[in-house]
Amino acid sequence: MLKDRLLKLLPKPERLRENRALKPVAHLLQRKELWQINRRSVSSAVFVGLFSAFIPVPSQMLVAAIIAIFVRSNLPISVALVWVTNPITMAPMFYFSYQLGAWLLGTEATALDGNITFTWLFENLAAISGPLLLGSVLCGWMLGTTGYITARIIWRSKVMEKWRKRRKSRAQKNKLD
């Protein structure tokens, strides 16, 4: 049920391996564990994707793909979950991460006047990078762990539901016999 839905949504490995842009890493995409849909690979992919979404670098999808290959989690789910960070959610997520990091480090958070430009960012990069990185890693770890546990619970409940239905249908079949 859940597995079938995921299989329909996710891209086929063959299509990705044939993509011209991915030719240099096509040999890595042949690993079966990167495409499996089971409780371990999906839950670890949720962790990887959500953790990578909080890493404040331009290539979050690449980071998620590298981590997914390294830990052997489902690659498409890992990469897709990075889109939790999108143009709408990016500013609040990173601002919260920065505030959390500044609070944990006991430093004064740099005031934001609402007019943030690349010039302002580069001028203040040294002051904000430490708190931002600490807050981002912590938020990514917490959200990733929460997602991992939630995915495991949902997967387990779906399996238990299937078992109950199977047991019920067997009991009804035995009553008819």
Would you say 99 and 63 are in contact if contact means Cβ atoms under 8 Å apart? no
* Residue in this structure with the two tokens 């912590």, named with its chain if needed: 138
Would you say 127 and 110 are in contact if contact means Cβ atoms under 8 Å apart? yes
**pLDDT at position 18:** 65
Q: Does the pLDDT of residue 1 top 60, yes or no? A: no
Q: Domain ranges for the chain, please list them.
A: 2-152
**Amino acid code (one letter) for 6:** L
Q: Does the pLDDT of residue 22 top 60, yes or no? A: no
Q: What would the two tokens of residue 121 be?
A: 């960012």
**pLDDT at position 83:** 92
Would you say 136 and 101 are in contact if contact means Cβ atoms under 8 Å apart? yes
Q: Does the pLDDT of residue 119 top 90, yes or no? A: no
- Give the total residue count for the chain: 177
Q: How far apart are the first and last CA of the chain?
A: 29
Q: Give the angle 150-57-83 at the CA atoms, nearest 5°.
A: 40
pTM: 0.78
**pLDDT at position 168:** 86
Which residues in 94-103 are b (16+ Cβ under 10 Å) and which e?
A: beebbebbbe
Q: Does the pLDDT of residue 77 top 60, yes or no? A: yes
Write out the H or E segment, with its range, that includes residue 15.
helix 13-18
Read off the pLDDT of residues 97-112 as tens digits, 9 standing for 90 and up: 988 999 999 888 777 6
* Residue in this structure with the two tokens 């690979």, named with its chain if needed: 41
How many CB atoms are closer than 10 A to CB 105?
13
Would you say 2 and 158 are in contact if contact means Cβ atoms under 8 Å apart? yes
Nearest to 94 by CA among 145, 50, 53: 53
Read off the pLDDT of residues 134-175 as tens digits, 9 standing for 90 and up: 999 999 999 999 999 999 999 999 989 989 988 888 888 777
Q: What would the two tokens of residue 24 be?
A: 């240099």
24-to-19, 28, 39, 68 alpha-carbon distances in Å: 10, 9, 30, 17
